[in-house]
């Protein structure tokens, strides 16, 4: 019997320092909707056709570790419209810790970094966020 995969057992290869992530969001893709109607068409509703594909930015969150400034260094390398582009993969792992579903992101580069929320009244880890744009995504099932 096949069991559904769990969303907390995943790995991200982003070409940076080794370390896990607490959350990945933005694995979204959609086709733009275009409406078109010819003037002589007897139907008073437009035709609907697919347009360009749109990809959401990927948002990566992880705990801050001493001595690891790799998020900032990657963003800081993005200057004068010449970002350091990297191919990235996000994989959900199966029970044997092997990739079961993999999202492959082409030519990714950082567009935003956000530091942690600092709050003396609440405990918790310091979490940093990196937002990454990319040029396309494919999905592969093992």
Any idea what the CATH number is for the domain that residue 118 is in?
2.30.110.20
- Whether 4 maps to a domain, the answer reads no
- Whether 88 maps to a domain, the answer reads yes
Residues 112-129: pLDDT tens digits?
A: 999 998 989 988 889 999
- Containing structural domain, residue 130: 10-141
- Whether 33 maps to a domain, the answer reads yes
Residues 17-69: pLDDT tens digits?
A: 666 899 999 999 999 999 988 888 888 889 999 999 999 999 999 998 888 88
- Whether 5 maps to a domain, the answer reads no
- From 59, 50, 62, 61, select the one nearest 111 (Cα to Cα): 59
- Whether 1 maps to a domain, the answer reads no
Residue 86 has a pLDDT of 92
Residues 139, 101 contacting (CB under 8 angstroms): yes
> How sure is the predictor about 1, in pLDDT bands with cuts at 50, 70 and 90?
low
- Whether 41 maps to a domain, the answer reads yes
The structural domain count of the chain equals: 1
Residue 134 and residue 93: Cα distance in Å, rounded? 23
Contacts of 38 (CB under 8 A, 6+ apart): none
- Whether 111 maps to a domain, the answer reads yes
- Whether 2 maps to a domain, the answer reads no
């Amino acid at each position: 019997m096949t069991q559904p995969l769990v969303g907390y057992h995943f790995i991200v290869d982003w070409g940076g320092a080794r370390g896990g992530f607490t959350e990945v969001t933005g694995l979204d893709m959609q086709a733009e909707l275009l409406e078109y109607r010819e003037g002589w068409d007897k139907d008073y509703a437009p035709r609907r056709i697919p347009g360009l594909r749109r990809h959401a930015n990927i948002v990566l969150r992880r705990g801050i570790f001493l001595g690891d400034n790799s998020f900032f260094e990657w963003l800081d390398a993005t200057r004068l419209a010449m970002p350091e582009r990297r191919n990235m993969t996000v994989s959900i792992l199966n029970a044997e810790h092997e990739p079961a579903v993999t999202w492959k992101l082409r030519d990714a580069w950082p567009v935003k970094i956000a530091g942690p929320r600092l709050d003396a009244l609440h405990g918790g880890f310091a979490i940093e966020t990196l937002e990454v744009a990319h040029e396309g995504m494919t999905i592969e099932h093992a």
